[in-house]
């Protein structure tokens, strides 16, 4: 069994769905296809939800109508037969009727999740109608019947495995399944999701559940590049990464992969391939357990970081001080990304600001607190880079003109992280690219 996940741009146009069909039928192995929403849909649904949360029904209605028009145009080009066109119209009627009904319901977080789930339901149902018209036998699976998270928002791998196996068994003889990325049920049984970009995570969890031979992530670029292609010119695809390298890059901002999508592959040991729907012959990136070479592979950046500095003369020679600080973050379920210490000061960073005020209030008991918002972590990632000769001088020479707020080196052998103010991000990525790759 193979898992193939296609992202928003890969399903965003009727002709792209036709390309996917070609890619799928080329494969002999049984497959589970995981689809994202059509590009722009989840953003539109987020805007609808935001407008509703503010009580702005007019704005929500306008956005719903614009989205519906987009889908009406989409299905005209997607299917040819009258019968399948009527079916597609029926799907739109069902989901847009729901969106129109919610205009009359009072807003809640559960409703927000229901709204966000419409995108993947629409894309998979429309793709299924298209495959039907093309006489390609398949089964549409509801991810809400098997994908679930616990009270901490963590996927329940064993449950997913049991439920999905049952569904596959019930459809013996089928070798093509279509399902939704991103959406799941939470511990209360409500509709929920795996956070933005979460279809990659769905694909990887499904691959783990069915012991897939490979998890293919098909997107709009020929694999993981050595720097952010939206910011730096002449970036290059990386042919091979080990799980640790890929996980660090995804976690530290390489948008091509959801940050959590590597751990299932690492734990259950199946390879992940990043491939380009627009250029299927390109080798892309293969991610597996071992690394094929040492040294720096790529640079990534993660935004919206807050740095907190705790200064306390009581820390001088005191043991147990760090534990007390960490306990505050644990209490508010806020994970720390970077940390640096001096004798009397600890600086650390967080990316979840939900409880920032509460955290600061509690930290003030330990000393004086300084907070810097709008920071960016830039990570230099590779295999055993801590052993790479002259790497630190190269990094610091490249960044001579950038005010660096924190540096973390040695925590892992595969990463150097640098904290800068967001305004210096573009320049930092460009300078590092020049210094390390050109
Ligand atoms: P999908 O909709 O298929 O999930 P995403 O937009 O989530 O696609 O991810 C692909 C995009 O990630 C690319 O178009 C590219 O602009 C961006 N990206 C950011 N950093 C990298 C990187 N290091 N390598 C490749 N793509 C990257
Ligand atoms: N549609 C969701 C998003 O845009 C999930 C995904 O595409 O991975 O975030
Ligand atoms: Mg994505």
- What pLDDT does 317 receive? 57
- What pLDDT does 388 receive? 86
Q: Report the candidate in 228, 385, 369, 206 with the shortest Cα–Cα distance to residue 295.
A: 385
User: What ligand has the least distance to the C-alpha of 34?
Assistant: 2
- What pLDDT does 342 receive? 85
Pocket residue to mutate for ligand 2, from 7, 9, 40, 42, most atoms within 8 A of Cβ: 42
pLDDT at 130 over 70: yes
pLDDT at 123 over 70: yes
Instruction: Give me the phi and psi of 431, to 5 degrees please.
Output: -65, -40
Q: Residue 197 CA: which ligand 1 atom is closest?
A: 7
Q: Report the candidate in 158, 159, 131, 126 with the shortest Cα–Cα distance to residue 145.
A: 159
pLDDT band at 316 (very low <50, low <70, confident <90, very high): low
Return the axis-axis angle of helices 41-53 and 109-133, rounded to nearest 10°: 150
Residue nearest to atom 8 of ligand 2 (CA): 197
> How much distance in Å is there from the Cα of 341 to the middle of ligand 3?
35
What CA–CA distance (Å, rounded) separates 191 from 113? 6
Residue 265, exposed/middle/buried by CB under 10 A (0-12, 13-18, 19+)? buried
pLDDT band at 276 (very low <50, low <70, confident <90, very high): very high
> How much distance in Å is there from the Cα of 389 to the middle of ligand 3?
34
Average pLDDT over residues 255-261: 95
- What pLDDT does 185 receive? 98
Average pLDDT over residues 130-134: 97
Chain centroid to CA 424: 24
Measured from CB, residues less than 6 Å from any atom of ligand 2 are 7-8, 36-37, 42, 119, 181-182, 196-199
What CA–CA distance (Å, rounded) separates 272 from 265? 7
- What pLDDT does 315 receive? 62
Q: State pLDDT tens for residues 225-251.
A: 999 999 999 999 999 999 999 999 999
Residue 227, exposed/middle/buried by CB under 10 A (0-12, 13-18, 19+)? buried
Instruction: Give me the phi and psi of 350, to 5 degrees please.
Output: -135, 155
**Residue 167: CA atoms inside 13 Å, Cβ hemisphere, count?**
23
What CA–CA distance (Å, rounded) separates 397 from 408? 17
pLDDT at 313 over 80: no
pLDDT band at 87 (very low <50, low <70, confident <90, very high): very high
Average pLDDT over residues 332-346: 91
| Predicted TM-score (pTM) of this structure | 0.94
What CA–CA distance (Å, rounded) separates 300 from 254? 5
Measured from CB, residues less than 6 Å from any atom of ligand 1 are 7-10, 36, 197, 219-221, 224-225, 228-230, 254-256, 300
What phi-psi label fits residue 85: left (phi over 0), alpha (psi between -120 and 50 degrees) or beta? Answer: alpha
Pocket residue to mutate for ligand 2, from 124, 191, 193, 197, most atoms within 8 A of Cβ: 197
Pocket residue to mutate for ligand 2, from 11, 198, 203, 250, most atoms within 8 A of Cβ: 198
> How much distance in Å is there from the Cα of 48 to the middle of ligand 2?
16
Q: State pLDDT tens for residues 356-399.
A: 999 999 999 989 999 999 999 999 999 988 888 899 999 999 99
């Amino acid at each position: 069994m193979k898992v193939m996940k296609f992202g928003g741009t890969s399903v965003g146009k009727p002709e792209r769905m036709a390309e996917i069909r070609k890619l799928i039928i080329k494969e002999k192995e049984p497959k589970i296809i995981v689809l994202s929403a059509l590009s722009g849909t989840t953003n539109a649904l987020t805007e609808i939800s935001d407008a509703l949360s503010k009580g702005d029904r007019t704005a929500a209605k306008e956005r719903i109508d614009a989205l519906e028009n987009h889908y009406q145009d989409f299905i005209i080009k997607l299917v040819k037969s009258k019968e399948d066109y009527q079916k597609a119209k029926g799907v739109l009627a069902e989901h847009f009727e729901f969106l129109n009904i919610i205009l009359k319901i009072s807003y809640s977080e559960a409703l927000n999740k229901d709204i966000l789930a419409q995108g993947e339901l629409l894309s998979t149902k429309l793709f299924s109608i298209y495959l039907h018209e093309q006489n390609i036998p398949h089964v549409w699976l509801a991810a809400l019947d098997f994908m679930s998270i616990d009270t901490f928002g963590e996927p329940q791998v064993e449950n997913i495995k049991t439920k999905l196996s049952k569904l596959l068994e019930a459809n013996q003889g089928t070798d093509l399944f279509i399902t939704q990325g991103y959406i799941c049920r939470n511990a209360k049984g409500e509709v929920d999701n795996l956070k933005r970009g979460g279809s990659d995570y769905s694909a990887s969890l499904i691959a783990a559940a069915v012991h897939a031979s490979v998890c293919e992530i098909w997107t709009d670029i020929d694999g993981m590049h050595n720097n952010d292609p939206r910011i730096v010119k002449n970036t290059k695809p990386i042919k091979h990464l080990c799980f640790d390298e890929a996980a660090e890059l995804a976690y530290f901002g390489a948008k091509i992969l959801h940050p959590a999508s590597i751990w299932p592959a690492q734990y259950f040991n199946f390879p992940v391939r990043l491939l380009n729907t627009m250029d299927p012959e390109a080798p892309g990136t293969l991610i597996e357990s071992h690394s094929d070479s040492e040294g720096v592979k790529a640079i990534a950046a993660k935004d919206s970081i807050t740095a907190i500095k705790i200064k306390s003369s009581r820390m001088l020679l005191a043991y147990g001080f760090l534990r007390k600080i960490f306990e505050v973050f644990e209490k508010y379920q806020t994970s720390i990304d970077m940390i640096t210490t001096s004798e009397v000061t600890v600086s650390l960073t967080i990316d979840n600001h939900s409880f920032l005020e509460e955290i600061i209030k509690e930290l003030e008991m330990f000393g004086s607190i300084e907070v810097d918002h709008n920071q960016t972590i830039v990570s230099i990632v590779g295999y055993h880079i801590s052993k790479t000769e002259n790497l630190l001088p190269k990094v610091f020479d490249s960044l001579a003109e950038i005010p660096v707020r924190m540096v973390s080196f040695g925590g892992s052998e595969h990463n150097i992280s640098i904290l800068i103010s967001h305004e210096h991000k573009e320049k930092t990525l460009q300078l590092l690219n020049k210094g390390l790759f050109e």
